[in-house]
Structure 1
Amino acid sequence: MEVIGVEFKEAGKIYYYKMTNDEFSVGDKVVAETIRGIEIGEVVNPSKIVDPDNFGHPIESIKRKATLRDLKRAEENEKEAKEAFEICLDKIEEHNLPMRLVDSEYTLDRGKLLFYFTADDRVDFRELVKDLASIFKTRIELRQIGVRDEAKMRGGLGPCGRVLCCSKFLRDFDPISIKMAKEQDLSLNPNKISGICGRLMCCLKYETNSYKQIKNELPNVGEKVETNFGTGNVEDINVIKKTLKVDLGDDEKIEIDFEDIES
């Protein structure tokens, strides 16, 4: 089966659809059915042949290329979804619900209005849904999301000063552990290794394997090594600079490159 990959949000999950008689290219705007409803997406992966049995679910076809009318409607929906967001905020306050509204969106056909929120616990929002349905005259869906998803939706700048990885290019959240920070000899101060979501920074995973590989090839701290300047004990390792700090004794300490260690 020939399929193409489509994303519906920047850096969002890629969904695969059957190729039809229409020719779709990377960058094309298309209209397709998703779990949320009818939406406009963008082709991001070119066509390829796959075994449909590997997907574990039926693969749908794209409905059509997005027309100017579709694009205009999506633009209007986005504007009205922002207005709906403000109304929902008022209703949440009116019902005194312990939830934080994050985003809202209409499906292209306006068959559904979705609200995304975070909360510390489960929230009984049945009365809120009734109020919103009576106002907007369409199906209302409230989705509780996690703090990492909230950061991805809201966007912003990370501690590095760059746009958040999750909102720019990370399509999935990988598990991040404190062990990754330890592998990189980073400060374990939560304020220094946490992102704006309050969780460990996703970028901790980027260099973990490189640190492991380099450290496996080097002596450990405290180990005795032979250098061109004599025998000493490793006092510190700087993986970024690729240097070792060696204590030669008699208050003599040197910093040498990794390759200067004698085998």
Structure 2
Amino acid sequence: MTRMVSIKFCQAGRHYNFAAEDLDLETGETVVVETARGRSLGIVASPPQEIPEDQVPKETKSVIRKATEADIRSQACFRDREREAFHFCRRRIEERGMQMKLVRAEYLFDGSKIIFYFTSDGRVDFRELVKDLAHQLHARIEMKQIGVRDEAKMVGGIGICGRELCCCSFLSEFSPVSVKMAKEQGLALNPSKISGQCGRLLCCLSYEFDTYLAIKKGFPKNGTRTVVNGKNVMVTDSNYLSGKITLRTEDNQTLAVTLEEFDQGRTNPPEIEPPNVDENAFPQATPFTDASGAGKEAPRPRPARGPRASRPSRTEGQGKKSPEKAKGQRSQPQPPQGKSPQKQGRPPQNQSQPPSTTPPPSTAGGGEPGKKRPNRRRRKNRPKSDDKNGNK
């Protein structure tokens, strides 16, 4: 078993687990711990507890000792130096016109390193700024970019509820918040009312979200039509906390009832049974008269055809024409149809022109009859030369 203790580094900071070793620690005491960035002062958030060794992370740091009066006075001295470093850095940022907002400056436990927290919409080249800070402060410089939520946590403030911000009073970790949480709670989707100081959705929207989902299961949905106390009504609104439902009648009257009254007076509308129609029964044939006046019998409806799979398959030679027969039918000449009358206003063709006296093309060259010989240019024979320059 290993004794583990929970440590936080600010008022509403995240809790980290450290090995307490043999120290007798109480909640609220200041201790010196070893962190990834060096030694630092922390506050005990909860008393030590025994934890099995297989559940302890391998890279767990340990508490070095309890903080002394000298450690606390040294930390207070560094707080004064942090304010001076903060104002100097902000002046340099304004002089260089850098697109960044400085939030906080923090010295480590021994004063060998100072961290500057800032926010920015994009990446910032602060290499020249770091040189100026190191030359002025004589310490190692670290620039750390944070988000708008972390900025509100460090700066602090008062929320729209009139209380201190949740993130800087008791909220140690940020949970995801979505617009769906505001919709489920029936809040108006007004950005100024559902957004916090950081410009993001209020963290408190997630506090009662699960409760609203559990209560909402017993309420009817908006737009539901039903019969309550013999009246046809429609649900227009539901207040989950007070348990009241707003109804609208056919006469556009508004009724407010509780959930219990709604369930007791609710009756389902009578269901209308469809008429029993025999699908196999067909109407009787009725006589009618055609254009000539002769009486005829109306055509009877044909029975529905079965599915394609139930039809008999075609056998060899049924419903198909043999290729020989089809070929013979194509080769037979069609009987001449009646000549279509020629269009008015055009002279008949091939009557005003004399017969052609052009002799048929010659086939002496071995060409096919009826085809003209292509007009090709013949190349003249050039004298042969021994080399490329034409020298013999």
Q: TM-score, normalised by structure 1?
A: 0.94
Residue 103 of structure 1 corresponds to 104
Cα offsets for 1:134-176 (capped at 9, x unmatched): 1111111110000010011100011112111111111111111
Distance in 1, Cα, partners of 2:120 & 2:110: 29
Over 3 Å counting, the alpha-carbon distance change for 1:237 and 1:95 in structure 2 is: same
Deviation at 1:25, TM superposition (A): 0.9
Q: Contact 1:133 / 1:139 at 8 angstroms: preserved in 2? A: yes
Residue 117 of structure 1 corresponds to 118
Distance in 1, Cα, partners of 2:25 & 2:227: 62
Identical columns (%)? 43
Residue 188 of structure 2 corresponds to 187
Runs of 4 or more above 6 Å deviation: none
Q: Contact 1:52 / 1:59 at 8 angstroms: preserved in 2? A: no
Letter in 2 for 1:107: L
Residue 74 of structure 2 corresponds to 73
Residue 212 of structure 2 corresponds to 211
Distance in 2, Cα, partners of 1:75 & 1:205: 37
1:1-263 aligned within 5 A:
1-54=2-55, 56-225=57-226, 227=228, 232-262=233-263
Pairwise CA RMSD of aligned residues? 1.7
Distance in 2, Cα, partners of 1:53 & 1:115: 38
Over 3 Å counting, the alpha-carbon distance change for 1:52 and 1:186 in structure 2 is: farther
Question: Structure 1: which 5+ residue stretches go unaligned?
Answer: none
Question: Structure 2: which 5+ residue stretches go unaligned?
Answer: 265-392
Distance in 2, Cα, partners of 1:225 & 1:157: 46
Letter in 1 for 2:80: K
Letter in 2 for 1:139: R
Residue range with higher mean Cα deviation, 148-157 or 230-239:
230-239
Pick 1 or 2: higher relative contact order, CA cutoff 8 A, min separation 6.
Answer: 1
Q: Contact 2:32 / 2:67 at 8 angstroms: preserved in 1? A: yes
Between Structure 1 and Structure 2, the one with more strand by share is 1
Distance in 1, Cα, partners of 2:58 & 2:148: 29
Deviation at 1:129, TM superposition (A): 1.0
Deviation at 1:118, TM superposition (A): 0.2
Residue range with higher mean Cα deviation, 49-58 or 213-222:
49-58
Over 3 Å counting, the alpha-carbon distance change for 1:253 and 1:43 in structure 2 is: same
Between Structure 1 and Structure 2, the one with more helix by share is 1
Cα offsets for 1:25-65 (capped at 9, x unmatched): 11111111223432211101121122455454411111111
Distance in 2, Cα, partners of 1:229 & 1:148: 54
Distance in 1, Cα, partners of 2:179 & 2:29: 41
Over 3 Å counting, the alpha-carbon distance change for 1:142 and 1:224 in structure 2 is: same
Over 3 Å counting, the alpha-carbon distance change for 1:56 and 1:23 in structure 2 is: closer
Over 3 Å counting, the alpha-carbon distance change for 1:220 and 1:258 in structure 2 is: same
Cα offsets for 1:168-220 (capped at 9, x unmatched): 11111111111111111111121111111111111111111111111112111
Q: Secondary structure at the match of 1:251?
A: coil
